[in-house]
Amino acid sequence: MKLSYLKYLFLVLLFVYACKKSDDAKEQIASFLGFQKPKNFPEPVYAFANNPITKDGFELGRMLFYEPRLSRDNTISCGSCHIQSSAFTQHGHDVSHGIDDRLGTRNSPPIMNLAWNKAFMWGGGVFDLDLQPIVPITTHEEMDEDLENVLNKLRAMPTYKNKFKAAFGSEQISTANFMKALSQFMLMCVSSNAKYDKVMRKEQNASFSAIEAEGYEIFKNKCGNCHKEPLFTDGNFRNNGLAPSAINDLGLYTATLLEGDKYKFKVPSLRNLKYTAPYMHDGRFLSLDAVFDHYIREVQNTPNLDPSLVANGTRGIAINSDEKSKLLAFLNTLNDEEFINNKLLAEQ
């Protein structure tokens, strides 16, 4: 009896010790490892050679991401509309809510897996992550500031001089280094630890439940063409048959003026849907049910409607209620709790 009690105590101690050890390990992981390509992801498209990620560069980028001085009246930071707990979207807002309570025209997209993006913004126009932040900084409804003013504000702060020196070897705060630091932070916002990823990587014997597995098969058959694994977007611009909005947003056409691009928007990833409602480029659908309703029976015949949404003369995707619940079960495996709780990506 006594012996087994001791044994028990020993085991508990061992367990506590093991816990402690794993905590240490966690802390080590939390210490900087740089950009790591997840095993189940393809090669990134971002030109890392031109902007190698360093701890100092990343930390500076994080500071800038959460820096309200990027806006005209020092009230709005990138993090205002890209909130980590909402997988870096602005939860609850159909369109982005910026400076002076102005409203934009598009839904705030997630800062997630951008190293694999070859085009940015719902309607395109930006093809290099290092040039993207200029858009929200200068847009009237978002930060409404001039880039030059932003840099001057930062130049007046000794903290930033030191941080830029640590990151880029020079106190000089240039456009290029400012953009590169922001990119370094955003590139590190990698969401790759959802249940789906663990199943794919065969980690910790992870496996889909029966309903998830069935949902996965339906997904591959009915959704995976545009929402391509493992990023769950093919990165292309497509017209998914939404009725034109009140402002008649023409999407990619605005940037290209090509007739064939009218009403095309970038295919969004399906990762982290649990945290990123509302959905679509203008946030018109408040729930996944509404999204399913759209694809099942509301697809409109607008110019350039994606051919994959028409089968035998019928628009939409045939999904019955049984399939829908299985798909929802699968989509739920794409939610990455580690991503939204990763302290490394939070405001410090």
Q: Which of 256, 300, 302, 342 binds another protein (CB under 8 A)?
A: 256
Within 13 Å, how many C-alpha atoms sit on residue 265's CB side?
22
Q: Which of 18, 257, 286, 311 binds another protein (CB under 8 A)?
A: 257
- The C-alpha atoms of residue 318 and residue 309 are separated, in whole angstroms, by 10
* Residue 50 interacting with another protein (CB under 8 A): yes
- The C-alpha atoms of residue 60 and residue 53 are separated, in whole angstroms, by 11
Contact by Cβ (8 Å): 77, 83: no
Contact window for another protein (CB under 8 A) among 31-39, 198-206, 257-265, 322-330: 257-265
Element (H, E) at 339: helix 337-341
Q: How far is the CB of 257 from another protein (least distance, A)?
A: 6
Q: How far is the CB of 162 from another protein (least distance, A)?
A: 21
In this complex, which beta carbon is closest to another protein, that of residue 173 or of residue 277?
A: 173
Site for another protein, residues 122 to 181, rule: CB under 8 A:
125-128, 130-131, 134-135, 137-139, 146-151, 174-176, 179-180
Q: Which of 45, 211, 255, 344 binds another protein (CB under 8 A)?
A: 255
Q: How far is the CB of 156 from another protein (least distance, A)?
A: 15
Contact by Cβ (8 Å): 324, 11: no
Contact by Cβ (8 Å): 132, 180: no
Q: How far is the CB of 284 from another protein (least distance, A)?
A: 22
Site string for another protein, 85-124 (x = CB under 8 A): ---------------------------------xx-x---
In this complex, which beta carbon is closest to another protein, that of residue 126 or of residue 344?
A: 126
* Residue 18 interacting with another protein (CB under 8 A): no
Contact by Cβ (8 Å): 269, 113: yes
Contact by Cβ (8 Å): 342, 36: no
Contact by Cβ (8 Å): 300, 233: no
- The C-alpha atoms of residue 56 and residue 130 are separated, in whole angstroms, by 17
Q: How far is the CB of 207 from another protein (least distance, A)?
A: 39
Q: Reduce the DSSP state of residue 334 to 3 states and report it.
A: helix
* Residue 271 interacting with another protein (CB under 8 A): no
Q: How far is the CB of 123 from another protein (least distance, A)?
A: 9
In this complex, which beta carbon is closest to another protein, that of residue 29 or of residue 47?
A: 47
What are the Cα distances from residue 169, in Å, to 35, 56, 69, 173, 260?
Answer: 20, 10, 23, 11, 46
Q: How far is the CB of 184 from another protein (least distance, A)?
A: 13
Q: At 88, give phi and psi (nearest 5°).
A: 60, 35
Q: Is 332 exposed, middle or buried (0-12, 13-18, 19+ CB in 10 A)?
A: middle
Q: Which residues bind another protein (CB under 8 A)?
A: 47, 50, 118-119, 121, 125-128, 130-131, 134-135, 137-139, 146-151, 174-176, 179-180, 254-258, 261
